[in-house]
Amino acid sequence: MGIEVVVEGLTMSFGKQNIWQDVTLTLPAGEVSVMLGPSGTGKTVFLKSLIGLLKPQQGRVLINGVDMVSSPERDIYETRKLFGLMFQDGALFGSMTLFDNIAFPLREHTRKRESEIRRIVMERIELVGLLGAEGKLPGEISGGMRKRAGLARALVLDPQIVLCDEPDSGLDPVRTAYLSQLLIDLNARIDATMLIVTHNLDIAATVPDNMGMFFRRNLVTFGPREVLLTSDEPVVTQFLAGRREGPIGMSEEKDAALLAAESAHAAPHRAGGPPGIVPQLEPSPGLPPRAAVARRRERVLGMLDQLPPAARAAIRDTYARGAAAPTLTMPAPGSGS
C-alpha cells in the first residue's frame, strides 16, 4: 500500500526569486492527487523537492519519518527508492529498445539476474499496454506509446509513490483519455500514492481523489477533488474553464491558449453527478477495486464539517450515488454544519 507524504511549511527560492512559500499538504496513502497551476508556478520544482533533489530553504517533507529536506543524504537516498518518476518528455534513451529502457533502473539499481529482469520488464510492459513493442526504438513509436514506456520504466522498482510530471503533454484528447484510464487502473493494481502534475482539464476532472493548485507563489488550495471543482475562487474557476478573463494574466498567455484549446475537448457533464462535477473514473472491468476508495471515503466524510458548503454538498452527492459506495451510512443532512 502507498505511503503518506506530509509536506509542512515548505518554502523555496532560487537566489532572490521566491518560487512558492509555506506550502502545507498531505498526499494521503494510496490516493491519486493532481496538482494544477499555470506554467512557471513551480510544479516541477515541487516534485523535485518531494524526492529531495532540490532543497527548499524552509519546511519539511516527511516520508516514513525521513525528512527529504534535511535528513542525512543516506536516508534520503534510501527513501528515494520508494518513488517512481515519470518525467515530462518520457526521458527515454533514443538508442535503446523499449525493453532496455524499461530494464535500465533494474540493471542500474539492483543485482537481479537477467531472467528476473525480463520477467519484471515484460510484466510492466503488459501493464501499460505495450506488449509487442518491446523491441522498438523510441523513435519508431508514437508519443503516446513513449509516455507509456516512461510510465512502465517508472514502475519497475515497485514504487509506493508515483510522481508524473505532465504525463499528457503532447498527447491528443483520445490518447489522453486512455492515459487517464491507465492511471486509475494502475492505482487499482498497485495502490501507490500518486501525484500527477497536469494542465489537462479532462485528467483533472476525472482522475484524482484530491486536487491542488499553485498560483502566485502560493498553494491556493489542496484537498478532496470536490473542493477545487466547486470552488468559486476566481483563479480556480478561470483555470478550470480555460478562460482568458481572470487573475491569470499575460505572462501565462501561452498557457491560457493551451487551456482554451483543451477545454474545447473537456468531457461533457454526465447526468447524475453533482452539478459541475464529472464522476471519477473507475478501474477497468476485471481489475480489483481501488483500495484507496474506502480509505478516502472515511477520511473525507470525517472532515466534512471543515469544508465549504458547496464541496460538502458535492461530496454527499458523490457518495449518495450508490454504485461507488453501496454500504455507506451518510451523516444526517445538516450535521456538522
Ligand X SMILES: Nc1ncnc2c1ncn2[C@@H]1O[C@H](COP(=O)(O)OP(=O)(O)O)[C@@H](O)[C@H]1O
Footprint on this chain of ligand X (rule: CB under 6 A): 14, 19, 37, 39-45
Contact letters for Mg ion, residues 16-55 (x by CB under 5 A): ----------------------------x-----------
Which one of Mg ion, ligand X, none is in contact with 144 (Cβ closer than 5 to 8 A by kind)? none
C-alpha pair distances (Å), 23 with each of 39, 43, 212, 278: 18, 12, 11, 28
Nearer to Mg ion, 44 or 263 (CB): 44
Nearer to ligand X, 152 or 204 (CB): 204
d(CA 128, CA 192): 15
Minimum gap (Å) between residue 84 Cβ and ligand X: 19
Q: How far apart are the first and last CA of the chain?
A: 33
Minimum gap (Å) between residue 83 Cβ and Mg ion: 17
Which one of ligand X, Mg ion, none is in contact with 42 (Cβ closer than 5 to 8 A by kind)? ligand X
Minimum gap (Å) between residue 175 Cβ and ligand X: 21
Which one of ligand X, Mg ion, none is in contact with 19 (Cβ closer than 5 to 8 A by kind)? ligand X
Minimum gap (Å) between residue 101 Cβ and Mg ion: 22
Please say whether the beta carbons of 219 and 213 come within 8 A: yes
Please say whether the beta carbons of 196 and 183 come within 8 A: yes
197 in the Ramachandran plot: left (φ > 0), alpha (ψ -120 to 50) or beta? Answer: beta
Q: Count the helix, strand and coil residues of the chain and give each as a percent rounded to the nearest 5.
A: 40, 20, 40
Nearer to ligand X, 45 or 157 (CB): 45
Q: Which of 64, 67, 42, 32 is nearest to 52 (CA)?
A: 67
d(CA 15, CA 254): 26
Minimum gap (Å) between residue 300 Cβ and ligand X: 27
Minimum gap (Å) between residue 252 Cβ and ligand X: 10
Nearer to ligand X, 109 or 254 (CB): 254
Which one of Mg ion, ligand X, none is in contact with 153 (Cβ closer than 5 to 8 A by kind)? none
Residue 218 as a binder of Mg ion (CB under 5 A): the answer is no
Nearer to ligand X, 41 or 280 (CB): 41
d(CA 198, CA 219): 15
Nearer to ligand X, 21 or 44 (CB): 44
Please say whether the beta carbons of 90 and 138 come within 8 A: yes
Nearer to ligand X, 61 or 120 (CB): 61
Helix boundaries (H) for 35-97:
43-50, 73-80
Backbone phi and psi for residue 211, each to the nearest 5 degrees, phi listed first:
-140, 145
Which one of ligand X, Mg ion, none is in contact with 86 (Cβ closer than 5 to 8 A by kind)? none
Minimum gap (Å) between residue 42 Cβ and ligand X: 4
Residue 169 as a binder of Mg ion (CB under 5 A): the answer is no
Dihedral sign for Cα 294, 300, 304, 310, please. negative
Site residues, Mg ion (CB under 5 A): 44
